[in-house]
Structure 1
Amino acid sequence: MNAAPVAARLLAGLTRLITGVRARWAGAAPTTAQRVYFANHSSHLDTLVIWASLPAPIRARTRPVAAADYWDRPGLRRWLACQVLNALLVERAGGCGSREALRRIDESLAAGDSLILFPEGTRGDGTTVGELKPGLYFVARQRPTVELVPVYLQDLSRILPKGEVLPVPLLGSATFGAPLALAPGEDRHVFLQRARAALISLGARG
């Protein structure tokens, strides 16, 4: 018997219980249409919270893009990443590593997967949204038919502060905004600023 589907249901339920996460669909309704969910990043809980916030049929078609150096380790962590979350593991290194990551992301999109991305590239302080890396622009340019949905995560860095193992009993939220698309001839920097502004706007809703 394959334990992964059972583990996925349990993990989704446990994540919602621990974080008290509330999924708010402010500008986009849940759909099985192919999407890239991109979010601010401040906690190890971020991936799990977005994944657990999606309805089960959508969750089954959505792959988190995750750092191989953290998740691809022997034991439970790798099993969760590969078998339960079906994560797309990529290297975070610069140069060729970044190009290889973008190639693998494009392959996954070509196969029909939806993805979860954190375009800041590293965890922030939970209060501000950092500048976005060019990878999101690459996705928008290469796959113009794929909806790009901003997701603002609230209070997750307070629930699981950096360096801590046990969560703090607070309530978090995940707000899903209206899909974005690359405008014809839009400059990379303009697009990335617009995507960042969409995240900030969702956060301002509280």
Structure 2
Amino acid sequence: MVRVLKVLFFAFIVKPIVFFALGLNVFFKDKLPKSGPAILVANHNSHLDTLVLMSLYPLGQIHKIRPVAAADYFLTNKFVAWFSLNIIGIIPIRRGKISDKNSLFSACHRALDNGDILILFPEGSRGEPEQLSVLKRGIHHLIKTRPSVKVVPVMMHGLGRALPKGEALLVPFNCDVVVGDSIDFIDDGKRYIQHISERLNRLLALCMTRQRVVKDDEQY
């Protein structure tokens, strides 16, 4: 029953908003992993980010796409918790100072073992609209014991204006999603995170909406 509700939610609410209200431009969609275990690493400016990424997959595969999200944000309210866990299918993570990283990511490892595709935002939280914040090392801790897992970078632009942090009203801006080639694992955590950041910024340069902003700025 829950899976049916999830499919209906994405079919009749999320996908129409994403592909019609936003005017979404998707580039190199064929580079998305077709099956798991795999991880999408993306920038994070809006609550729309997760829904947009999940909408890129067929309805029959939605239940295999698992966003990693903050437990202290999504599990505080009973209704929000039920909706987040059952309809969105989040993997809740307890943020804060945690010494046992294996325990922190245990649910993520179970999802990967189950062949799921994880959505991970390495910035840790939503940043300023259309700006990439400093990335945290969580992704490196997660996959250092399974370096063969495919990690695919995705850059989104425009969603931070369409539904900014702290806002509840959707503004229909054109938005871009650019999917990159998978990223090889690097044992050195600092270098690995720097490499992911460089790849995301490289994808940012390909965003049509970003190019328009740059051109507009150059006119002044």
Task: Give the TM-score, by structure 1 length.
Answer: 0.87
Maintained 8 Å contact 1:63/1:88: yes
- Secondary structure of the residue aligned to 2:144 is helix
CA distance in 2, matches of 1:145, 1:15: 35
Deviations 1:163-192 (A, max 9, x none): 211011211122111001214xx3111111
Change (3 A) 1:7 1:127: closer
Please give the residue correspondences for 1:1-206 in structure 2 after superposition, counting only pairs within 5 Å: 1-2=1-2, 3-16=5-18, 17-25=20-28, 28-29=31-32, 31-72=34-75, 73-75=77-79, 77-96=80-99, 100-183=103-186, 186-206=187-207
Which stretch of the first structure deviates more once superposed, 112-121 or 1-10? 1-10
In 2, the alpha carbon distance for the partners of 1:108 and 1:71 equals 19
Distance 1:53 1:29, change over 3 A: closer
Structure 2 unaligned regions, length at least 5? 208-220
Q: Which amino acid aligns with 1:41?
A: H
Runs of 4+ in 1 over 3 A off after TM superposition: 96-100
User: What number of residue pairs does the alignment pair up?
Assistant: 203
Partner Cα separation in structure 2 for residue 175 and residue 98 of structure 1: 30
Seq. identity, %? 30
Displacement after TM superposition at 1:40 (Å): 0.7
SS where residue 128 of structure 1 aligns?
Answer: coil
Determine which structure has the larger helix proportion and give its number: 2
Aligned partner of residue 142 in structure 1, secondary structure: coil
Q: In 2, distance between residues paired with 1:100 and 1:11?
A: 35
RMSD: 2.2
2:153 and 2:45 mapped to 1: Cα distance?
Answer: 15
| Higher Cα radius of gyration | 2
